[in-house]
Structure 1
Amino acid sequence: MTAVDIGKEVAALCRQGKNQEAIDRFYSTNIESVETCAMPGMEQTQKGIAKIKGKNQWWVDNHEIHSGTVEGPYPNGDRFVLHFKYDVTPKHTGKRMTLDEAGLYTVQNGKIVKEEFFYSM
């Protein structure tokens, strides 16, 4: 699969709330994930599928997701961007907010090997 094909599939799964399935199907076991800033108890950069699955589960466990949109993919060679906008309430604050972020994904040999996130601050 090309980066565009993978981007379309990942976007479709995320639109259905199936982010974990996207990780299972399309992420390399050696995935590298770079956040804009470190999440509580985690490093800003994480490596390996187990850590990325753990980070995703932490996010799901710690946020009430009211709605969301996913736009893209916006491809460029072996990379693509997805734009995410989520209406969420972090459980630790109870304060509803909009999370607006872009994810840049790099594909090699039919798998996502790197994801980088950029947030609106």
Structure 2
Amino acid sequence: MTTVDIGKEVAALCKQGKNQEAIDRFYSPNIESVEPVAMPGMGQTQKGIQAIKSKNQWWVDNHQIYSGTVDGPYPHGDRFILHFKYDVTPKHTGKRMTMDETGLYTVQNGKVVKEEFFYAMSAPEAAQY
């Protein structure tokens, strides 16, 4: 599969709320995931498929998800971008919010080897998260 094909498949699965399936099918066992800031109980960077699965499950378990959209992929060589927008309530705050996030994915040998997320959340905001 090409990078574009992988991007389309990952986007399609995420649109259906099947993020774990996307991870299982398209992520390298040695995947690296980088957030803009460290979240409570997690480092800014997670490495390995189990760490990424755990991070994804943590997110699902700790948010009430009302709706979400996924746009893309926007390909560039061995990378592609997906844009996510979620209407969620973090369970620990009870405050409904719109989460607007972009993910940059790097593909090697038919697998996503790195995901990097970008969103407007400062370190102090993340600490309260």
1:21 — aligned with what? 21
1:66 — aligned with what? 66
> Whole-Å Cα distance in 2 between the matches of residues 43 and 78 of structure 1?
26
Q: Are 1:120 and 2:126 matched, yes or no? A: no
> Whole-Å Cα distance in 2 between the matches of residues 23 and 40 of structure 1?
22
> Whole-Å Cα distance in 1 between the matches of residues 31 and 16 of structure 2?
23
> Whole-Å Cα distance in 2 between the matches of residues 62 and 101 of structure 1?
17
Amino acid at match of 2:96: R
1:68-83 matches, cutoff 5 A: 68-83=68-83
> Whole-Å Cα distance in 2 between the matches of residues 105 and 116 of structure 1?
7
Secondary structure, counterpart of 2:7 in structure 1: helix
> Whole-Å Cα distance in 1 between the matches of residues 23 and 49 of structure 2?
8
> Whole-Å Cα distance in 1 between the matches of residues 26 and 95 of structure 2?
33
Query: What is the TM-score when the length of structure 1 is the normalising length?
Result: 0.99
1:75-94 matches, cutoff 5 A: 75-94=75-94
1:98-109 matches, cutoff 5 A: 98-109=98-109
Question: Which structure 1 segments of 5+ residues have no match?
Answer: none
Deviation at 1:92, TM superposition (A): 0.2
Query: What is the TM-score when the length of structure 2 is the normalising length?
Result: 0.93
Deviation at 1:120, TM superposition (A): 2.6
> Whole-Å Cα distance in 2 between the matches of residues 9 and 70 of structure 1?
12
Deviation at 1:53, TM superposition (A): 0.3
CA RMSD of aligned residues (A): 0.5
Deviation at 1:76, TM superposition (A): 0.2
Deviation at 1:116, TM superposition (A): 0.1
Question: Which structure 2 segments of 5+ residues have no match?
Answer: 122-129
> Whole-Å Cα distance in 2 between the matches of residues 45 and 111 of structure 1?
19
User: How many aligned positions are there?
Assistant: 121
> Whole-Å Cα distance in 2 between the matches of residues 99 and 38 of structure 1?
17
Amino acid at match of 1:119: Y
